[in-house]
Structure 1
Amino acid sequence: MKNYIKFSLLLAFITLSGCMGTSAIIKPVEDLKVDSLKNSETSKPIQFQKIVIKLKRGEHIGAWKAGFLCVPNGDLNWKGGKLNIDSDEFTETFKEELEKYSFKTVGDTNALFEDPSTWKSEILVAGLVKELKANICYPMAGFGNFNNSKGEAFLKVDWQIYSKLDRSVVHTVSTEGSFTSTSASDNGGDTVVLNAFSQAARNLLADSKFREVVSRGGQSVKETEIKKGDYSSISIKKSKPMGNSPKEWSSAVVTVFAGGGHGSGFVISDNLILTNHHVAGNANSATIKLENGIEIIGKVIASNSARDVALIKVDASMPKYFKTKKELPAVGSEVYAVGSPLDESFSSTMSKGIVSAIREENKLKFIQSDVNIRPGNSGGPMVNKDGEVIGIAVSAFVVNGQGQGLNFFIPIADALKTLKIE
């Protein structure tokens, strides 16, 4: 359920103190020039996610004033430490600014249940307010009227731009906004804050990097991250290639530990291991557990979040590696999945199935199969009957915790191309 929070309620999170308040200095903000997005038809649909106000408890943010002369009556001090504003007013304000300049937006504030349009969004935008100043005046306060108000406000927003295709934050930027109202109106305190936020949103639209990110509809933003020092010392296929006997495949399949969980991976040379980006995460190093229980530390030397692949280098010579086959498999062909489903104790688990289909989503190809995989299999190999890796386990369709036989693998050719491996 959404929180319908207006500035009048925001005052409930502010302590009014003192008999003569100290007014805040409201910084004027330049309204940057915003050009309409020329390639709006092919741009990424944007969804406003939320705005969070986070200030220090007791922080002075301005003064509340009363009377026709707006005489300071007390201080406005921040009381709450953090307030998540997810109201219609802020969402509508943000959408209005975007649509004014031909940016594509999704999200229906009138939807009572799940809004299907949000599935179309490629970019999520959220803001963190770390600086807020406001002076609010109630001209008719002497007559008990605290509804009509006017004032001025300034805020600074730290924006985060999240790409669904890249599955990560692809841009951060700070913008400012300010607004002054000279005539009182019903809930005028809301108006000054919303208009200050409106200017901060417009100044976001003027940011060149933001515009570049939004312009690339249907495309990932992040390039493959390669750590040059480690990547330059890659040696490919000096160890012995794997044969076609399933009994030996597990010796080249490993369990990968990074962050708080685990996934799978497999050897493609004497010291290189392929896995998923979402298994390695943003870690610089990962623990690699071999079939015999030995654990070694590997360095994440390249990764790409959009294609969800990562390359790990270990300071050890692995005895065998998997050969790869770049051609897509035929539908109906026999395949195997090897990995560590659910728990590391199930390492080297093998399952058998067939290729069900070749799919494409967001211009990325996937191999669909009924071969059984579960959480923990991510990053493990899909192997054909000749012992060649043709794909990497990446996701499974699950309903109420149960697999549905709809499992997806990244074609090995795409993984190698993305990581610039010949």
Structure 2
Amino acid sequence: MSSRVEELLRELAPQVLGFLARRNGQFDLCEDAVQEALLAAATQWPADGIPANPRGWLITVAGRKLTDQFRSESARRRREDNVAAMAGAEELVAPGADHDQPPESDDTLTLLFLCCHPAVTPASQVALTLRAVGGLTTAEIAKAFMVPEATMAPRISRAKKSIKAAGSRFVLPPEEERADRLRVVLQVLYLIFNEGYTASSGPDLQRVELTAEAIRLSRMLYQLLPDDGEVAGLLALMLLTDARRAARSTPDGRLVPIDEQDRSLWLRESIDEGAALVLRTLSHGQVGPYQLQAAIAAVHSEAPSADETDWPQILSLYLLLERFSPNPMVTLNRAIALAEVEGPQAGLDLLATLDGDNRMTGNHRLDAVRAHLLERADQPREARAYYLAAARRTTSLPEQQYLSTKAAALPTD
């Protein structure tokens, strides 16, 4: 499939699904029908050419699939009324017959809220968002998360059943629920990006298809909600972080930490866009966790070299972030900044406060950071032990190799 066809299908997927779900209800059946239409397009368009009205083409094909599903279900359950109601479905979804359709942006936002419904588990929210809003196939999502398609398909199916069982309709949530639901949407996009930026398992450090999709969906959300500071902050954070992608690994896949990266490889266009978003959001409105994380990323991006990084400013931002969003990973990162400002022992003392936190049990990053600070504190034997412990705990092969190499460079006695 050509990149143009793939890009177009990703763009049109939420529009077509929104059209059908709003007209016909039953999100689960509509989503299945759209997936079949996308697969048909992915097969036919590269051979036959992109149709003059690709959106109408998809609506027509998906509408026919939906009609068949309704008829089949009606026959099984003797729902003659539904069959009659769908008798004119093809006319409704004919190319060009969407003149009274509400703005596409409304549908995309509604889809995001629906996929991130609180009745759905976080893992399923991610999968359903990628499929319904991102237009990825089940096979693509399964590959991205390195699980069998037979595992991912039931996860998506359960998510749709949960939404249906909760009695959700294809409408925006009530005003009083939107802020909480938007936080879930942002968290799901953040999870997608993080899994792409540092894959939790497997041979590759990064999964570019996931980071690209997270940025695309976040950019779409920003276009829908340009005045929301946290939406802008999340997009800025992704842009500033992803700008370092080319410098994060060697050609043979070895991990390169930020202080050793060739900063000429950082994408200046993404850095400029992200920094501009940070300045715009921090200058007015209430500050939130994503904006603060974006500001930290911007400080890193502005430093010409690792030695010129403004660590006192980063430490101040982490202190503020910890007040807004207290969690062990923020404390872990604050320990790194604190060590840069006050020395490695200060960082180690702060890390010690995390030892009894059950949320960090088995987390290799705590061992990895402790190893790094012990090495800086001239305690090589202790550092080596923690590097090896971190290597055993991570399921990412590039991280394993990096941590094992660090351990091997230190004395054994």
**Structure with greater strand share of residues:** 1
Under a length normalisation based on structure 2, what TM-score does the superposition of the two structures give? 0.27
Q: Whose RCO is larger (CA < 8 A, sep 6+)?
A: 1
Structure with the higher fraction of residues in helix conformation:
2
